[in-house]
Amino acid sequence: MKYAIKRFTLIEVVVALGIMLVIAAMIGLVLTTSYRAWERVNRMDALFRQKQNIDRIVNTAFKNAIPFSWKNDNLKEELVFKGESSMLLLAYLHRIGASDRSGIRFVQLRLEDNKLIAEYRDTPILPWREPASSEVTKEVIVSQVKEISFLYADILPENNSVQLMDSWDNKKTYIPRGIQITIEFEDGSKESWFRRTAASGYMQFLGKKPQNVIR
């Protein structure tokens, strides 16, 4: 018994190939769209985590910043605070995690290799003496940063108004009432965080009421 072998015509072959190409294109489009969505979600997640890091540092260091003095090389008491337009060094209160740890921590924030770097130490980071790299714990707060800038809030005694300055006079015996950090990212976006410091309260200097404080 003989069976007839069906031969496809050229038109049928072309139509079949066309259908396969359409299906392949649709699959490729779905895969490409899914990959781009996955990349976008990853970018948004990374950005969210980085902003969480920034929120964490401003909510712990800025909000809990306190005036802390240490004797300089001339044995005179000097405030452990250095506020410049592109760098900040301060002392702040933090939760004690062990019995041998101090409740005061010192941190320096600066830009390094397009990263916002925080350098921590339990003993004073002195503005007049650069600590060795082995003496500090370094943490990358956020990456892909083009520029950072700080502003420092004070009260003008003549009219009791708030003034923002791009640097802080180290000769003052108190720290800023508030601190703002502005971060410009490499993609061109820019965001700012402002927090009032703990030292801007009513009883900030060992129970003494300072003049012209923010209520």
Under 8 Å between Cβ of 133 and 162? no
Q: pLDDT, tens digit, for every residue of 165-182?
A: 999 988 888 899 999 999
What mean pLDDT is predicted for residues 91-105? 76
Please state the rounded mean pLDDT for residues 15-22.
86
Q: Which two three-digit tokens encode residue 180?
A: 């703002």
Paired sense of beta strands 65-66 and 82-83, if any: unpaired
* Contacting residues for 142 by C-beta, under 8 A, at least 6 apart: 50, 51, 53, 54, 115, 116, 183
Cα–Cα distance between 204 and 5 in angstroms, integer? 98
pLDDT in tens, 33-68: 888 888 887 777 777 787 888 999 999 999 999 999
pLDDT for 193: 94
Residue 97, pLDDT > 70, answer no
pLDDT of residue 3: 56
- Phi, then psi, of 110 in degrees rounded to 5: -160, 170
